[in-house]
Amino acid sequence: MELPKKYSFEESEKKWAEYWKKKKVYRYDEKSEKPVFSIDTPPPTVSGNMHIGHAFSYAQGDIVARYHRMAGKNLFYPYGTDDNGLATERLVEKLKKVNSKSMKRDEFRDLCMKTLEEIKPDFTSDWVKIGVSADFEGSYSTIDNHCIKTSQKSFLDLYKKGHVYTEESPVSWCVHCQTAIAQAEFENVDMTSHFNNVIFKQGSKELVIATTRLELLPACVALFAHPDDERYKDLKGKFARVPLFDYEVPILYDENVDMEKGTGLMMVCTFGDKDDVFKWHKYKLPLKTAITIQGKMNDEAKGYEGLPIKEARKKISEDLERQGLLVSKKDITHAVNVHERCGTEIEILKTKQWFIRVLDKKQELIGAAEKIKWHPEFMKKRYVHWVENLQWDWCISRQRHFGVPFPVWYSKKTGEIILADEDQLPVDPLSDKPKTLPKGHTYEDIIPEEDVMDTWNTSSLTPQIALGWAENDSKYKKVYPMSVRMQAHDIIRTWAFYTIVKGLYNSNDIPWKNIMVSGFVLDPKGDKMSKSKGNIIMPQEVIGKYGADGLRYWAAGSKLGEDMSFQEKDVVTGKKTVTKIWNASKFTIMNLKDYNAKPLKELELKDLRVMDKWIVSKVMRAVKNATESFESYEYSRSMRETDVLFWHKFCDNYLEFVKHRTYEAKDEKSKLAAQKTLYYSLLSILKMFAPVMPFITEEVYQVYFKGVEGFESIHVSDWPSFNKKLLFEKEEKAGDLAVRVVSDIRKHKSEKGLSLKTELGRVEVSCSDEDKKLLELVVEDVKAVGNVKEFVFSKGKELTTKIN
């Protein structure tokens, strides 16, 4: 059996991806006795193409997954896509050039489903191409019936347990998407604005307040000063007149007013920010709404009705100025919360929404994080910090079309909430009817809940979805909590947090025992990638140029949790490694031509020479370290270990040291020992590389080793096990000395401009007696590699090599 001269990753990667699929190599085995290792994978949002961050993070997760599969675990490794919610709506609106708000809900839903069908196969194929070894056949979609059912069951469960409530209250709102949104969907951006000093009249006195939000003047409900502020002490119980809108608001005092800021006198509107909400609650202020859900002024803003917020702000500014009520106007830059999906500034509007209680469970939610092992550990702090700083309960209702419907109706008569029965799920209240009606009600007396759920309400249930919680699947009982969650750090505050919430509330336990959090891919300069900057790296292009193995090698080079700037040269190194594996394998297998290989159970030590034991020892140490690193999710350490073993021990040295024993074999026993060792070392190295570079290792395995070892694929073969008996200290030391002397010889030839092949007359090594004893064991090998005629020793303290 021989390997062709060149390796084509294009052909090979395609071939093995198909093979793995056909042979169902990545199937979870329900009947297996092996311990289960389960992975909670992030369902990517179907958005056209996989981006480089996906490739990075999934590759890292997959490397860990492949290790555990080889290490004897029964892998439960599901895959799904997250395709309900705003992201998908936006995509469909863009692709199909429609506006969801002007369509009927079911029409738009159908269009979304149809569009997903069209684009999903291409999208998912990217995951297959980078070698993700999940079980794609059991894929779920967060908008399929199973997920809707799971999501609705979770809702009913939480409702019954008292974790869900609905109320009309001030909630963050996106006027562009026209829906409520959650705190986790905020993004902070710096914006330029104006800090305006505006005159309020108090009798004949002029009071100046500072504001950036002039359009909220008609929503002003009070003025506030600090109780100790001398300037405003005599205003107690007085009222001020709102400019332009000409009505009076009370002047009140609160400790948290900052005397230094602005004029020390502030206006409270319903609602400009969270602090307004706070004071509105605390002082039971009236509600005066000036902005509609579409982001236009309503008739509270007399004279400005129908104007969009920013235009109203401008016009009010002009009108104030004209009337001499604008004292000053200063340009400022300040941080503003915007909706991450569309960049629109967030408003606070009083609307009816559904919430999941989290503020009253902060301690439990932080306690859960303590029970989970975080990799790397410091990522836990991000979670804890987020939970500690939560300000709102989780708002889960969205005034959108494409999402999981609430399994809820209302009574027109009494307003009471009517829940769906669990056994009628999945349910769409717009078309379905409740199984049980309240007393004295007919179907005519009920109206459906029209809102849909936040997409995170469903994707936070990935463990329950994958394990069949809603179906009372035995798998759920057996596997939950899952072994590990893999994800990137940007969604700790959403996906990780929400999944833990659902785990505690629905399943009474943490969702997984471990979480591995990967970093971010930055552009070559270390900046964030973004479409607007035009610095996006497409993984498809990288794969096309260097192959999936090359890309995975690159992804494996970064420590877990660490951001990494994309350097093309690192992918080149990956591709070089692939080529090197190919060439080294080709050479090794060539040397095994007449070797009668048997399945490798335990290496037979009989007849092994010193250099053989040297490489076996090196393999063993690498196996030990790589295994330990993998067990603690440190795949980059593990790969480095294998890398050093392969390049510097196996290729640079061992292969050179055995050539003289296999080429013109004078000693059959020695040749056989070398072959045995070659077989053992190469197979071990291939296995150790297999999680990182699944394609090239499979190629070599299939061509040669499969016929001997018998496993369907290298990826279901067993991970090399550490065996203390295969550590040979003396031989290792001797081999290290041989390598050192050979290195001196190479250096000499290089400095003299000689070919490495040049024969040397005499090499004299001066060293201690101890080293001499060891070196004598490998003299023949050193002579062969260095092409040395005569080799002599002399006594010396330090090991030095003299050549003439």
Partner RNA sequence: GGGCCCAUGGUCUAGUGGCUAUGACAUCUCGUUUACACCGAGAAGGUCCCCAGUUCGAGUCUGGGUGGGCCCACCA
Q: How far is the CB of 582 from RNA (least distance, A)?
A: 8
> Which residues are paired to 453 by β-bridges?
397
569 lies in the site for RNA, by CB under 7 A? yes
Binder of RNA out of 387, 510, 615, 651 (CB under 7 A): 651
| Smallest distance from RNA to CB 218, Å | 15
Residue with tokens 């991450």: 340
* Listed ranges 302-310, 413-421, 562-570, 685-693: which one lies at the site for RNA (CB under 7 A): 562-570
Which residues, 590 to 619, sit near RNA by CB under 7 A? Answer: 590
Q: Minimum Å distance from CB 115 to RNA?
A: 30
330 binds RNA (CB under 7 A): no
Using the minimum distance from each CB to RNA, give the nearer residue, 395 or 427.
395
CA distance 751 to 103: 78
Minimum Å distance from CB 189 to RNA? 9
Q: Which is nearer to RNA, 202 or 743 (CB)?
A: 743
Report the residue number, 1 or 447, with the smaller CB distance to RNA.
1
Strands lying side by side in the sheet with 417-419 = 417-419, 408-411, 446-448
Q: Which of 80, 85, 272, 786 binds RNA (CB under 7 A)?
A: 272
Distances (CA, A) of 514 to 377, 378, 634, 700: 10, 13, 13, 33
DSSP structural state of residue 406: P
CB of 141 to RNA, least distance (A): 28
Least Å from the CB of residue 151 to RNA: 25
531 near RNA, rule: CB under 7 A: no
Among 315, 329, 362, 382, binds RNA (CB under 7 A): 382
Per-residue burial over 443-476, b if 16 or more Cβ lie within 10 Å, else e, is eebbebbebbbbbbbbbbbbbbbbbbbbeeeebb
For the CB of residue 726, give the shortest distance to RNA in the complex, in Å. 22
Cβ at position 199, least distance to RNA in Å:
13
- Measured from the CB atom, the residue of 209 and 542 that comes closer to RNA is 209
* Count of chain residues binding RNA (CB under 7 A): 79
What are the tokens at 634?
A: 């440190």
CA dist list (Å): 371 to 76, 465, 512, 513, 632: 22, 22, 9, 7, 16
Cα of 516 vs its chain's centroid, Å: 8
CB 551 within 8 A of CB 692: no
Which one of 24, 94, 528, 669 is in contact with RNA (CB under 7 A)? 528
List the interface residues with RNA, window 240-269 (CB under 7 A). 257-258, 261-262, 266-267
Spatial strand order of the sheet with 346-356 comes to 179-180, 164-174, 346-356, 394-395
Contacting residue, 562, 602, 604, 631, with RNA by CB under 7 A: 562
Provide φ and ψ at 419, rounded to 5°.
Answer: -95, 150
Would you give the binding string for RNA spanning residues 167-206, x where CB under 7 A is met? Answer: ----------------x--xxx----x-x-----------
Q: Which of 213, 375, 613, 676 binds RNA (CB under 7 A)?
A: 213
Q: Is 534 left (phi over 0), alpha (psi -120 to 50) or beta?
A: left
Q: Which stretch binds RNA (CB under 7 A): 24-32, 42-50, 109-117, 559-567?
A: 559-567
Contact 390, 531 (CB under 8 A): no
What residues between 712 and 771 interact with RNA by CB under 7 A? 743, 746-747, 749-751, 753-757
CB 92 within 8 Å of CB 384 = no
Interface residue with RNA among 68, 296, 398, 575 (CB under 7 A) is 575
* Residues 6+ positions from 24 with CB-CB distance below 8 Å: 137
Which residues in the 410-449 window bind RNA by CB under 7 A?
none
Q: How many Å apart are CA 728 and CA 609, to the nearest integer?
A: 11
Which segment (160-168, 283-291, 534-542, 645-653) binds RNA by CB under 7 A?
Answer: 645-653
